[in-house]
Structure 1
């Protein structure tokens, strides 16, 4: 095989090629690129020599793409669009203050997003970028400032700050609660009554999901063998809560994420606080970026999250000692 066929293509002339191909004019491309027409022609000729194939047919009054030129344009045009978009993002990030964070989808949907309006009012010129993913990231990830995660205390990084605990309790939507009160649905006076209802389950396949699922709660109530009328499983907590709001059954809610819905009356806790089960998992704020000192906007967002977390602790009855909120080795 000819060694020239394996040599990487020089990239400096691709933008000129794309301009000529888009405008079908060497002179128009030269004007757009702020170059002379002979300079554009030399770049295209060099590119054709690199490829070993003509890219344009040049007539007296028009220029047309050859088959090779059309094939190259199909690849080059979207690449340049992506490149220009990335450059704009980098320049924008350098010219504006931004906080980038990662968290898992249900936390973003149920706890963080509804509260961000208040933060945006306080900091209208600060941009927020959220990566909602279950994927864990490295603590020295340069693209991210913060992580909001859930885990047991012994698995939290040394730099992690505890936000609030995980407490589980059955909840139903207001519509189903009204039906129960009217007698149009089976009663929910005691946990054993769950046998007559559909139980909404969240099963994301994670190692700790069983500790936050119905079997663990039922075992704590002495109802290990209870079988509901039906199981309804979803992948994410926010899907489980949507099903509860729609009246599709009883959800085992993570109260830290849904206490606002309880306060508004959209959700009802049929057995009250007496049947709440505290998990060994907690929610944490983890600073990222390695050894880089936090920027002022990162510090402002962290303070705001901690204030919101304090309100959540009060709402769910999390009375942990404030001195223990910073994770200790």
Structure 2
């Protein structure tokens, strides 16, 4: 007689043991997971044993003083993370719908620091019942697989979907702190009248190996000015655009700034364009707004996108860029 064939269990896994598993897998500690989940260590251990019995697999190698994931544990961890993140995001949306209105925005750190956040106070004065949650990092978020409502991105036109709204284009210009510019004009510091004078100055360069970094480089700007081989007194390599601007404001270096992000600082006199409009060059990249599918159905998200569109129009005017015909805050791209 043949032995009975083992049939795997078909019932769904309970969410409690999965929570316990995720915490232990992330912390690699039963006691730390128990503290995080407000459970006893024995309760967490029982949930993990229950899960292992349900799966018929060992998820952790347990040592005297350490815990390690097995191959099956690693496989389950990757799946559980995605499931719990999506579940938690949906729960937050449901809770938000019954409480204060919240708009979730993702963008890159320099755009958040230099363009978006300085404008938010005005919006929130007009909409005191609406909260804006800004997630600022360089990781591209999938709008259709997250809780994000709006993405503000930086890319060339061919890299954007047809639903993207173009906010404004890119213009690059050298900027310096007003004190440095005044010292140079008075002859108390190296001259700063033409591109060749940059040999005597420190240049803040974006330390970015991505293709878009080529458009933001001093090498490209110097080549357009007829000085492709010019070497400054020294280079200052920085990771983010806002760091370069801080270096310029403090007089430590001259930065090649993204004009849309610093035009208000120029107007207030916090920065100076030593070469004026003649030092400006264009870039094929631009700034874009995208709405998620779920965001399009929420009035507060549409309202915030409309406001972003209004602010973008002001930036276009400030940098001397014509308004695109038929701009639509809900998404039609104009480029």
Q: Normalised by the size of structure 2, how large is the TM-score?
A: 0.71
1:250 paired to 2:254? yes
CA deviation string 1:105-133 (max 9, x = no partner): 00000000000000101111111111101
Greater RCO (CA < 8 Å, at least 6 residues apart): 1
1:203 and 1:139 map into 2 onto residues whose CA distance is 28
Residue ranges of structure 1 left out of the alignment (5+ in a row): 1-7, 15-20, 23-43, 52-82
What is the DSSP-based 3-state SS (H/G/I as helix, E as strand, rest coil) of the residue aligned with 1:137?
Answer: coil
Deviations 1:197-250 (A, max 9, x none): 111111233221011110111111111011111000100000010011110111
- C-alpha RMSD of the superposition: 3.1
Structure-1 residue corresponding to 2:333: 327
CA contact (8 A) 1:143 1:289 kept: no
Return the offset for 1:86: 8.8
Counterpart contact for 1:146–1:285, Cα < 8 Å: yes
In the TM superposition, what are the counterparts of 1:136-175 in structure 2 within 5 Å? 136-175=140-179
Contact 1:97 1:125 (8 Å CA) reproduced: yes
Gaps of 5+ in 2: 1-12, 20-33, 36-42, 51-84
Does the 8 A contact of 1:158 with 1:328 survive in 2?
A: no
- Mapping for residues 1-329 of structure 1, pairs under 5 Å: 11=16, 92-95=95-98, 96-289=100-293, 293-323=296-326, 326-327=332-333
Check the 8 A contact 1:177/1:268 in 2, yes or no.
Answer: yes
Larger Rg: 1
Deviates more, 1:173-182 or 1:229-238: 173-182
Secondary structure of the 1:268 match is: coil
Separation of aligned partners in 1, 2:286 and 2:89: 37
Structure 2 CA distance for aligned equivalents of residues 198 and 89 of structure 1: 48
With the length of structure 1 as denominator, give the TM-score of the two structures: 0.72
Deviations 1:83-116 (A, max 9, x none): 9x99995664232211111000000000000000
